[in-house]
Amino acid sequence: MAVVAQRAPWSRRAKEIRRHTLIYVGLTPYLVIAVFPILWMLITALKQEPDLYRMDVVPFWFHLPPTLKNFEFLFQRTFYGDWLVNTLSISLFVSAITLLTAVPAGYALARLRLPFAENLGIAIFMTYLVPSIILFIPLSRVVSELGLQDTWWSLVVVYPTFTIPFCTWLLMGFFKTVPFEIEEAAMIDGCGQFGALLRVVLPVSWPGVITSVIFSFTLSMQDFLYSLAFVSISEQKPVPLGVATELIRGDVYFWGSLMAGALLVGVPVAIVYNLFLDKFITGITGAVIK
Amino acid sequence: MGHLASGGGRSPGASLSVPVGGRAKALPWWRTPSVRRYLFGYTLLAPAVLYVGVLVGAPFLFSLYLALSDASVGAPVARFVGLENFTSALETGVFWTAVRNTLVFTVGAAVMKGFLGTTLAFLLVQPFKGRRVVRGLVVIPFTIPIAISVLGWKWMFDSQFSVLNWALSGLGLIGEYGTPDWPVWLGQPMLALASVMFVNVWRSFPFSAIVLLAGMTSVSPEIIDAAKVDGATFMQRFRKIIVPMIAPILFVGAAFDTVFTLSDLSIVYLLTNGGPDGATEILPTLAYNTGIRGGALGRGAAISLFLFPLLLPAMVLLLRTLRRRQY
Question: What residue in A sits closest to B289 (Cα-Cα)?
Answer: A229
Residue B17 has pLDDT above 80, yes or no: no
Give the residue-averaged pLDDT of A61-90: 89
**CB–CB contact A127 B52 (8 Å):** yes
Q: How far is CA A191 from CA A92, A113, A196, B106, in A?
A: 31, 19, 6, 53
Q: Where residue B326 falls among pLDDT bands split at 50, 70, 90?
A: low
Q: What percent of chain A has pLDDT over 90?
A: 42
Which one-letter amino acid corresponds to residue B302?
A
Given a contact cutoff of 8 angstroms between Cβ atoms, the answer to whether B202 and A33 are in contact is yes
| Rg, C-alpha atoms of chain A | 25
Q: 3-state class of B183 per DSSP?
A: coil
Question: What residue in B sits closest to A263 (Cα-Cα)?
Answer: B148
Give pLDDT tens digits for A3-22: 455 555 678 888 889 999 99
Residue A25 has pLDDT above 90, yes or no: yes
CB proximity under 8 Å: B 203-262 to A: 206, 210-211, 213-215, 217-218, 248-249, 252-253, 255-256, 259-260, 262
All structural domains of chain A: 2-67 (no CATH), 70-285 (1.10.3720.10)
**CB–CB contact B123 A253 (8 Å):** no
How far is B146 from B203, CA to CA, in rounded Å? 7
| Rg, C-alpha atoms of chain B | 27
Predicted local distance difference test score (pLDDT) of residue B9: 41
Phi, psi at residue A121, to the nearest 5°?
-60, -45
Give pLDDT tens digits for B234-282: 888 888 888 888 888 888 888 889 988 998 899 999 999 887 888 999 9
Query: Which CATH number is correct for B90-324, 3.30.300.30, 3.40.50.720, 1.10.3720.10, 1.20.1250.20?
Result: 1.10.3720.10
Give the residue-averaged pLDDT of B71-95: 83
Give pLDDT tens digits for B148-165: 999 999 999 988 888 888
Residue A84 has pLDDT above 90, yes or no: yes
Which residues from A are below 8 Å from B8, CB to CB? none
How far is B254 from B317, CA to CA, in rounded Å? 9
Its sign, for the CA torsion A163, B205, A133, A81, is positive
Given a contact cutoff of 8 angstroms between Cβ atoms, the answer to whether A214 and A272 are in contact is yes
Predicted local distance difference test score (pLDDT) of residue A6: 54
Lowest mean pLDDT among A138-142, A263-267, B69-73: B69-73
ipTM for this prediction? 0.88
What does the domain layout of chain B look like in residue ranges? 90-324
Residue A83 has pLDDT above 60, yes or no: yes
Lowest mean pLDDT among A24-33, A60-69, B40-49, B116-125: A60-69
Q: State the CB neighbour count (10 A cutoff) for residue A227.
A: 28
Q: Which residues contact A207 (CB under 8 A, 6 or more apart)?
A: A174
Give pLDDT tens digits for B48-59: 999 999 999 999
Q: What percent of chain B has pLDDT over 70?
A: 91
Predicted local distance difference test score (pLDDT) of residue A13: 87
Predicted local distance difference test score (pLDDT) of residue B121: 92
Give the residue-averaged pLDDT of A211-220: 91
Greater pLDDT, A89 or B296 = A89
Which spans in B53-179 are helix H?
58-67, 84-91, 93-124, 131-138, 140-143, 146-156, 163-170
In whole numbers, what is the pLDDT of chain A averaged over residues?
87
Beta strands in chain A (DSSP E): 248-249, 252-253
Closest CA to A273 of A208, A194, A223, A211: A211
Greater pLDDT, A57 or A241 = A241
| Dihedral over alpha carbons A8, A10, A12, A16 (to 10 degrees) | 180
Question: How near does any CA of chain A get to the CA of B277, in Å?
Answer: 18
Residue B24 has pLDDT above 80, yes or no: no
- Mutation target vs A (from B55, B157, B250, B256; most A CBs, 10 A cutoff): B55
Residue B96 has pLDDT above 90, yes or no: yes
In whole numbers, what is the pLDDT of chain B averaged over residues?
84
Greater pLDDT, A179 or B288 = B288
Greater pLDDT, A252 or B273 = B273
Residue A64 has pLDDT above 60, yes or no: yes
Most confident of A109-118, B66-75, B129-138: B129-138
A221 and chain B: CB distance < 8 Å anywhere? yes
Question: What residue in B sits closest to A52 (Cα-Cα)?
Answer: B161
Bridge partners (DSSP) of residue A248 are A253
Given a contact cutoff of 8 angstroms between Cβ atoms, the answer to whether B271 and B157 are in contact is yes
Q: What is the DSSP string of A181-244?
A: HHHHHHHHTT--HHHHIIIIIHHHTHHHHHHHHHHHHHHHHH--HHHHHH--SGGG--HHHHHH
Greater pLDDT, B301 or B9 = B301
Give the residue-averaged pLDDT of B115-138: 91
